[in-house]
Structure 1
Amino acid sequence: MRRRIRRLVLVLRRLTRGIMLLRLAGGMIYAVNTNFTHAFVFFDIVVIRVVVAFRFHAF
């Protein structure tokens, strides 16, 4: 049980780092590409959640 919690914490840390980097990158992109950036961030978050869900269901 502790391994699962620790693994979950590590995964969440990775996710928050990635989201922060994407926000910084999104801030530097011109306003024309804002819609693409938001779509990419949304898609990335959805894919990561699906992958994490499948990993935890595998145990």
Structure 2
Amino acid sequence: MHDVNIRILSDVALIHARVTLTTLADGVAKEALYTDAYQKRDGTWMCVAACAPDPIAIA
């Protein structure tokens, strides 16, 4: 995981990041971007939405 960007907006936090992985099936390096949204509820941060599209192969 790298290029992590966390923005806290009162009781909501947005987390954007990039992850690089190698799949076991074919050994190809892939990269994906994702965004998670968290909300603070009763003092605890809970993930309320997540978006992680399929990883793409990188050269």
TMscore range, shorter length: under 0.3
TM-score (norm 1): 0.22
TM-score (norm 2): 0.22
Structure that is richer in strand per residue: 2
